[in-house]
Amino acid sequence: MILAAPAVILTAAVTLLAVLLAFWTGLRVARVRRRVGIAPPAVSGAPELECALRVQGNTVEQFVVFLPSLWLAALYFQGWLPPLIGLVWCLGRVAYALGYRADNPGGRYPGFALTALATVLLAILAGIGIVNAWLVAGA
């Protein structure tokens, strides 16, 4: 068993939650496919399916920036703030997924804004932490 600081454990829990959210978006795509009768590999034909696929795709795209920012912030900034902001990112992803509908595509904006803000804050915290570590190390 690996023992870790509470901030690392919280960051790992948020990471696991984000992974579960990615699975959830995939399950939503499968459910919509069944309901509208469009089998893979088709990706068009029903606006509801196209929205579900965009939510899934956008979530995976966001992972590329979110996960390194989260872990760098957790490693170099430390404390409870990075995992808390990571939790906000997860909430933003849920809001994005629930708000992105064919009849109201603009409904995705609040969730996207929350996600983007959380990612930017994590990157800023990571930068502050890295610069601080550099200065303390006397580099």
Q: Supply the mean pLDDT for the chain.
A: 95
Tens of pLDDT, residue by residue over 98-130, are: 999 988 889 999 999 999 999 999 999 999 999
Q: Which of 107, 22, 9 is nearest to 62 (CA)?
A: 22
Q: Find out whether 59 and 22 touch, Cβ atoms under 8 Å.
A: yes
Buried b (16+ CB within 10 A) or exposed e, 73-89: bbbbbeeeebbebbbbb
| Domain assignments of the chain as residue spans, ordered by start | 6-137
CATH architecture of 6-137: Up-down Bundle (1.20)
Question: pTM of the entire structure?
Answer: 0.93
